[in-house]
Structure 1
Amino acid sequence: MSEQDKTIKDPSGKILSLVSHKLKTPLSIINGYSEAILSQAGKEKFSPFAAKALEEINKQGLKMAELVDKLLTYNKVSRMSVKELKREAVPLKALAKECASAAIAKDDDSVAVSSAEPTAKRGTYIEIDCSESLTIQADREILKAMLEEMLDNAIKFNNKMEKIIKVQGANHGDSISISVRDYGAGIRPQDVPHIFDPFYQVDDYFTGQINGWGLGLAMIKRGAELHGGTVNVVSDRGLGSIFTITLPIQ
């Protein structure tokens, strides 16, 4: 059996799945009702405290729902086999634009998706350099989750006022690569060998202030392996990182 055919032997997988599913229903109710109440803010007379509390409940509920979704995605991908992949022709530039828009929608400081050099000094900018005709045979849902995670990380681990992120797709003849480059904090050399391990979080950010389980990069690695590919990182502390997924052309 090849390496990519092996599902991850994670004895906690069933527990993760159970916990995430059990959390999803009550969170959906909390978020649904809080949004419904907030929508009545113009008709009802809420005190400033009540209005602020409702907004915070809804905000934190949405964050928790996103965490649960990430847990479900990791659990699905980690337990998947190659035979379960649903390969199709995926246009990379269109996918990159979709993922960039999703990342921007989740980030309060994000303001633009552009193909030109940004001039503003505050906000998050995602530039996409990829041919419109570049496609790859892959499981679109998994590839989308991988790229979204890379963009989310590029935004989260960057505390600069102006965040510039560059996405590049390239055809190398026998493989296609998708790179996400940021100019954020970078990764310490001693952390690099471990960042693709499940639940590993860099100490600098293990404060509860950064949303995440430490499962995103493990999910990306597994997704690349399922497609017969790889993921690697080049990082300079203080200068940023480049994460690259390389998948073979079928």
Structure 2
Amino acid sequence: MAKDSVMKTLTAEEDGPRMLSLVSHKLKTPLSIINGYSEAILSQSAKEKFSPFTAKALEEINKQGTKLCSLVDKLLFFNKVESLQPKDLAKKTLNLKNLAKGCANDALSHEEETPAVTATSSIAKRGTFIEIDCPPTLEIKADEELMGFLLEELISNAIKFNNKAEKIIKVQCAHHGDSISVSVRDYGAGIRPQDVNKIFERFYQVDDYFTGQIDGWGLGLCMVQKIVELHNGSINVISDRGLGSIFTVSLPVL
């Protein structure tokens, strides 16, 4: 019996990624239909003259459907990243400043306010300011999709876990001989010492327990760490409660 139990456990562990992928794909079709029809109905709101309640209900259905679709996409991406090996990376030369600016704009566009406004060295959006300090010619050789996800995730977290009215995020890139560093700094609540070593674990969220109040699966930083490892790099976190956090990724110059 013990032997059989062990074999069942191992099989369950091996089937975990396959199950996540299957569940995610099964959710995609009904979600696409829900979102498609809700958008189509909303587009007719001016002609149909819906009641305030109906209009609000439709908007909320569409909003939550879009959010759920994003969660499913992230689960599928997690499954993809987990299965990658260094030889699978599609590496190419990337301009780090352009990549950082694009990721900052994408992170800001997910906030439920006005579109992002881009300046020469900073990006702002109604109380959220992202400063990018990066040499204009600094380049890295990396997988663009993965590195884009990494940067956007760190910037999005810096925005999401900051409850101040004015949020300031600083992205700094530098060349250190045989390595290149990318730091994302915020001045938010910071991370408790007991949580710092856990934030890269799967499904872990910096809440005392998962309440559902924080968007996401708790997989973002787990994927960030995996992407860093795939590029033969390292990631470091410095955080002080009430003062904010600094996430620094170091990558070898190739």
User: TM-score of the superposition, structure 1-length normalised?
Assistant: 0.90
Structure that is richer in helix per residue: 2
Q: Distance in 2 between matches of 1:173 and 1:26?
A: 51
Q: Tell me the equivalent position of 2:70.
A: 66
- Percent identity (aligned): 65
The amino acid of 1:234's aligned partner reads I
Q: Does 1:233 align with 2:237?
A: yes
Q: Distance in 1 between matches of 2:193 and 2:103?
A: 29
Give the 5 Å matches for 1:103-142. 103-109=107-113, 112-114=117-119, 115=121, 123-142=127-146
How far residue 87 of structure 1 moved from its aligned partner, in angstroms, is 0.4
User: Are 2:117 and 2:123, in contact at CA under 8 Å, matched by a contact in 1?
Assistant: no
Is the partner of 1:147 in helix, strand or coil? helix
Q: Tell me the equivalent position of 1:87.
A: 91
Q: Tell me the equivalent position of 1:194.
A: 198
**Looking at CA atoms only, which structure, 1 or 2, has the larger radius of gyration?**
2
The amino acid of 1:207's aligned partner reads T
Deviations along 1:168-192, one digit per CA (max 9) or x if unpaired, are 1111111111111111111000011
Q: Distance in 1 between matches of 2:181 and 2:210?
A: 30
* Gap change, CA 1:131 and 1:40, over 3 Å in 2: same
| CA RMSD, 1 decimal | 1.9
Q: Tell me the equivalent position of 2:220.
A: 216
Q: Tell me the equivalent position of 2:104.
A: 100
- Larger CA deviation: 237-246 vs 105-114: 105-114
* Unaligned segments of structure 2, at least 5 residues: 1-12
The amino acid of 2:147's aligned partner reads L
The amino acid of 1:206's aligned partner reads F
Q: Distance in 1 between matches of 2:197 and 2:101?
A: 30
User: TM-score of the superposition, structure 2-length normalised?
Assistant: 0.89
Is the partner of 1:132 in helix, strand or coil? coil
**Matching residue within 147, 150, 153 for 1:143:** 147
* Gap change, CA 1:87 and 1:213, over 3 Å in 2: same
Q: Tell me the equivalent position of 2:50.
A: 46
- Larger CA deviation: 103-112 vs 189-198: 103-112
- Larger CA deviation: 201-210 vs 176-185: 201-210
Q: Distance in 2 between matches of 1:117 and 1:52?
A: 31
* Gap change, CA 1:131 and 1:145, over 3 Å in 2: same
* Unaligned segments of structure 1, at least 5 residues: 1-8
The amino acid of 1:37's aligned partner reads I
Q: Tell me the equivalent position of 2:17.
A: 13
Q: Tell me the equivalent position of 2:40.
A: 36
How far residue 12 of structure 1 moved from its aligned partner, in angstroms, is 1.5
Q: Tell me the equivalent position of 1:164.
A: 168
User: Are 2:123 and 2:130, in contact at CA under 8 Å, matched by a contact in 1?
Assistant: no
The amino acid of 1:18's aligned partner reads L
How far residue 206 of structure 1 moved from its aligned partner, in angstroms, is 3.1
User: Are 1:188 and 1:236, in contact at CA under 8 Å, matched by a contact in 2?
Assistant: yes
- Larger CA deviation: 212-221 vs 104-113: 104-113
